[in-house]
Structure 1
Amino acid sequence: MDMQKLDDYFKTNRQEHLEELKAFLRIPSISSLTEHQKDIQKGAEWLKKSLEKAGLENARIDETPGHPVVYADWLHAEGKPTVLVYGHYDVQPVDPLHLWETPPFDPHVRDNKLYARGASDDKGQTFMHIKAVEALLQLNGELPVNIKFIIEGEEEIGSPNLPLYVEQNQDQLKADVIVISDTGMQGPGRPAVCYGLRGLAGIQIDVKGPKGDLHSGLYGGAVQNPLHAIAEILASFRDKEGVIQVDGFYDDVLPVSDEEREEFAALEFDLEQEKRDLGIEEDFGEKGYSFVERTWIRPTLEVNGITGGFSGEGIKTVLPSEASSKITCRLVPNQDPDDIIAKLRAHVEAHKPAGVTVNITDFDKGKPFLTPYDHPAIQAAGRSYEKVYQVPTAFTRMGGSVPIVAAFDEILGLPVVLMGFGLASENFHAPNEHFHLENFDKGLRVISDYLFEAANLKK
C-alpha cells in the first residue's frame, strides 16, 4: 500500500469524516435509560448505513433481548487472516448537565478536540475502523485481510446479552484476531497496546441487628450495633499493608515474569507526579510491588461504600437497626469470580460478630483477560503505532475491567488486541467528554497499517 496515497486520502476527506462522526455523536444512544430506546435503535441504523457506505457487506441489525448488535463483513481476501473488530455505539448518561460547556449531543471542535458524549468512548474510536476500511476499499478496491464488525449497544451497562450472542454466533464470528479500540494511550504522543485487564467480583454485605433503631442511651452496650459489626467485618479483610486476609484469595494468582516486570519499570512511571495529580502525600499497598504493578497485576479488595444509622446534620443518639457495605475485588489472570465470591462469603461468615445476621448479595462479575505481550498480533500492533507516532510503543496492562473481552477470549479462543487512541484526560463518563483529533488523524493511519500487518499473521 502506498502510505502517502492513503495519507492524502485522509487529508482530503477529513472534514467529511468529521461531519459524519458529528452526525453519529448527535444520536443520544444512552443504553441505561429506557427513554432513549428509540435513540439506541437510531444509532444501530446509522451504523448499518455507515458500514454499507464503507463497502462492507452483509450489514444487518441483530436483535437481542436488550439492545441490538450491528454486524457487517468483507470476506474476499482468500487465504488471508480474518480480523474481528469490536466496538460499541451506546454511551453513558450526561448528568450533571450544567457542567457541560456545550451540549453533550451537539458536537463542537475546540483546540483540535471534538467535544461530545461518546467522542472518545467509544463512537469516535469505532468510527475510525469503519473509515480505515472505507479508505482502503476506495483506494485499492480490496482489503489485505478479511474483516468482520460486531458493534453492540449495551457495553455501558455491562454487555448483559453479548456473551450469549457471541456463543450463538460462533461460526459467523470465526476469526484469527479480535481488535478493540476502547482503551487509552500512555499519554499524549505515547501509544500503548493493552494486553491484559483485571476481572471483577462484587458483593453487598447487609448486617441486621434489632428490629428497629434503638436509643443508644437505653440500649447501647447491651445490644450489638450493626455499624460496629460491619466495621469489624470490613477491617478483617486486609492487613495494615493492604494484603488481603481472605483464605485462599491469592491461591490461583499467576506469577509475572521478571522480564515483564522489567518492561513495566522501563515505562518510567512518574510516581511523584501521580501523587500530585491525585492530591495524596503517599501511595499505599503491598510491599515489593510498584504503583503500576499494584494497579495492573495484583488483585484488590476495596470497600466502595458504607451505609447505616444517622448521617444528617447534628447528632442523633441512635443505635441503628441495620448497616450495609458494597465491596469490589479486581482479579488477575487465573482467578475466577465465582470462586472469589465463595471465599468472600466464607470469610464474612467466619468473622461475623455475635448479635447480628448477615446477608450477602452477588453483584458484578467479570473474568480477567491476558494475551501474552509477545504474541505476534500484539507486536504487530506495536509496529503500526511506531510507524505513525515515531516513538516506541508501550505494552501495558490495565487495572480496570472490560468483561466482554474475557468473554471473547473464553468463547472464541482468540488473541485480543486492545489498541486504543483515547487519553485519560478526555473525561469519558464525565461532563465535557472529548477526543483529541490528533489521535483521530493518526489513529486512522495506525488502523490502516495494522490491517496490512495482520495480513502476515499465521492463520
Structure 2
Amino acid sequence: MDYQVYFENQREQHLNELKEWLSIPSISALSEHKSDVLRAADWLADSLAKAGLENITIHPTEGHPIVTADHLHAPGKPTVLVYGHYDVQPVDPLHLWETPPFEPTIRGDKIYARGATDDKGQVFLHIKAVEAILKQEKELPVNIKFCIEGEEEVTSPNLPSFLEQRREELAADVVIISDTSLLEKGKPAICVGLRGLCSLDVEVTTANTDLHSGTFGGGVPNALHAIVTLLSTLHDDQGRVNVEGFYEDVPELSPEMRAEFVKQSLDENKLQQSLGLDALYGEEGYTFVERTGARPTLELNGVYGGFQGEGSKTVIPKEAHAKITCRLVGYQKPQDILDKIERHIHANVPVGAKVSVIQREKGNPFTMDTTTPMLQKASDAFNHVYGVRPVLTKDGGSIPIVETFGRVLNVPVVLMGFGLPDENLHAPNEHFNLDNFDKGLLTIVEFLKQV
C-alpha cells in the first residue's frame, strides 16, 4: 500500500477536519469554556467513530471528560495505547496573535491556531493513521486503544485515579504519546527522560509589625535579611544543591547517554549570546544540555517582601516570602526531597526569625530503559520516514502523567513527538509545521506495522 499517495490525496480533507477541531476553544483552565471543552470531546468522539474505532466512551469526571476508544481485532498481536489531550492553554495576550487563535489559518507551510501542536494536531495524526490503515487494508496490524483527556493543561487532576480504576480496560503493551518535539526540522528525537517536580512556599517572620528603620534599625531582626541569609544556604559556590541527601537517588550519566547529549550539537556560545548573558551557569562538570535534561535543580522562582512601591520607605519588614521549585531526576521522590529541604530550612533559620513551610506540587521523574524493544521500533519508524535515526533526549520539563502511565499500567511509554521547539506552544501564534504533519502520519503508520 502506498500510504504517501493516500495521505497526499486526503490532505485537504484532513486539514479541513483538523481546522474544525482547532476552532473549538477548549481552554480547560477557564470555567467559562467548560461547554467548549465538552464540545471538543464530542468532536473527538465523532472523529474516532468515523475512523473506525469502537467502544467510544466519553467519561465524565469531576472536571473535564476523558474520551476512550479501541479496536481490538488482532488476536495474538501487541496492544498499543495512545494518550493525548484535547484541552488547550489560554490565549493571552490576544493582541500578539497575527490571526485569531480559534480561526485556524494556513500560512506558508504551517497551520496556526491554539492547540495546533499542543496537542490536538498531534493527536489527530494518530486518528488519521488508524483510519488510513483500516481504509486501505480493512484491518489493523495491532490492537489499539485511545485515552484522550481534557485536563492536561491543568495538571491532569482526574486522570491518575481513572487509570487506577480502569487498569484492566486500558492494559496495553506500550503507551504512545505525541506531545513533544523534534530537535529541529528533519532531526527527530525520542525523549527517554523527563524531570519530576516538587514545590514549596517559605515564609519568614520576625516582629509582630513592620518597624521604623530609624527607631529600630540595627537593633531588631529584618525579615528580608533573614530570608536572604536562609536562601543562600541552599547552594554551594559550585552550583550544587547544598541540602543533605539531595543527590542520594540521582544516577550518574552513562557514557552512552552522554554520547546522545553530544548528538544534540547545542552551541553554548550561541545560546549564551541569544539570551544576552555574559556566561551560562550551573553544576560544574556538566554541559548545558546535561544540566537541564539529566541533573536535578533547586530554583528560586520568587522572593518578595517589604516595600515595593515608587520611591523609598524606611521600614524594617516583619515578613518575607520565597517560592521554590525543584526539578527531579532518576529515582528522586518528590515527598522525600520536600522533607529534606524543609529540614534544611528549619535547621538554618537565622537568629530572631521564625519560618513556616507549605509543601505544594509533587510529580515523579520519568526515565525509560533505552534498550526497550518498543523504543527501537519507534526509532526504526522515524528512520524509515525521516531518513535518520532519532536522537535520544532527556528533557528538562515535567509531564507527571507520563510516569503515572508507566507505573500504573507497568508498560513502556514512548514519546514520539512531531512538533518543533519554535512552534510557540503556550504562546501567541502557536502553529504546527505541515511537513511534520505529513511525515508524522507516515511515521505512525510505519510504527504500527513494525510493532
Q: Distance in 1 between matches of 2:275 and 2:414?
A: 30
1:390-413 CA distance string (max 9 Å, x none): 123111111110000011111111
- 5 Å-filtered alignment, 1:52-71, equals 52-71=49-68
Q: Distance in 1 between matches of 2:152 and 2:260?
A: 31
Q: Counterpart in 1 of 2:145? A: 148
The SS at the match of 2:389 is coil
Is this contact kept in 1: 2:263–2:391, CA < 8 A? no
After superposition, the CA RMSD in angstroms is: 1.0
Is 1:373–2:370 an aligned residue pair? yes
Q: Distance in 2 between matches of 1:316 and 1:367?
A: 44
The SS at the match of 1:13 is helix
TM-score w.r.t. structure 1 length? 0.97
Q: Counterpart in 2 of 1:44? A: 41
TM-score w.r.t. structure 2 length? 0.98
Q: Distance in 2 between matches of 1:438 and 1:370?
A: 29
Q: Distance in 2 between matches of 1:78 and 1:278?
A: 54
Equivalent AA in structure 1 for residue 78 of structure 2? P
Is 1:162–2:162 an aligned residue pair? no
1:277-310 CA distance string (max 9 Å, x none): 2222221111211111111111000001112111
Is 1:352–2:349 an aligned residue pair? yes
Q: Distance in 2 between matches of 1:212 and 1:153?
A: 46
Q: Counterpart in 1 of 2:288? A: 291
Q: Distance in 2 between matches of 1:221 and 1:33?
A: 48
Is this contact kept in 2: 1:241–1:284, CA < 8 A? no
Cα shift at 1:209: 2.1
- 5 Å-filtered alignment, 1:31-180, equals 31-180=28-177
Equivalent AA in structure 2 for residue 156 of structure 1? E
Cα shift at 1:218: 1.5
Among 407, 416, 419, the residue aligned to 2:416: 419
Give unmatched runs, 5+ long, in structure 1: 455-459
Give unmatched runs, 5+ long, in structure 2: none
Equivalent AA in structure 1 for residue 351 of structure 2? A
Equivalent AA in structure 2 for residue 166 of structure 1? L
Cα shift at 1:64: 1.3
Cα shift at 1:255: 2.3
Q: Distance in 2 between matches of 1:286 and 1:84?
A: 38
Q: Distance in 2 between matches of 1:10 and 1:225?
A: 67
Is this contact kept in 2: 1:209–1:226, CA < 8 A? yes
Among 400, 405, 408, the residue aligned to 2:405: 408
Q: Distance in 2 between matches of 1:426 and 1:227?
A: 40
- 5 Å-filtered alignment, 1:298-313, equals 298-313=295-310
Q: Distance in 2 between matches of 1:311 and 1:405?
A: 41
The SS at the match of 1:98 is helix
Instruction: Work out the number of aligned pairs and report it.
Output: 451
1:248-267 CA distance string (max 9 Å, x none): 00011122222221222233
The SS at the match of 1:377 is helix
Q: Distance in 2 between matches of 1:31 and 1:218?
A: 52
Is this contact kept in 2: 1:41–1:68, CA < 8 A? yes
347-356 vs 117-126, which moves further: 347-356
Equivalent AA in structure 2 for residue 301 of structure 1? L
Percentage of pairs with the same residue: 55
The SS at the match of 1:424 is coil
Cα shift at 1:97: 0.9
Q: Distance in 1 between matches of 2:104 and 2:97?
A: 12
Equivalent AA in structure 2 for residue 429 of structure 1? H
The SS at the match of 1:362 is strand
The SS at the match of 2:234 is coil
Cα shift at 1:184: 0.9
The SS at the match of 1:86 is strand
- 5 Å-filtered alignment, 1:231-310, equals 231-310=228-307
Q: Counterpart in 2 of 1:390? A: 387
Q: Counterpart in 1 of 2:11? A: 14
1:141-196 CA distance string (max 9 Å, x none): 11111000000011001111100000000000000000000011111111001111
Q: Counterpart in 2 of 1:457? A: none
The SS at the match of 2:418 is coil
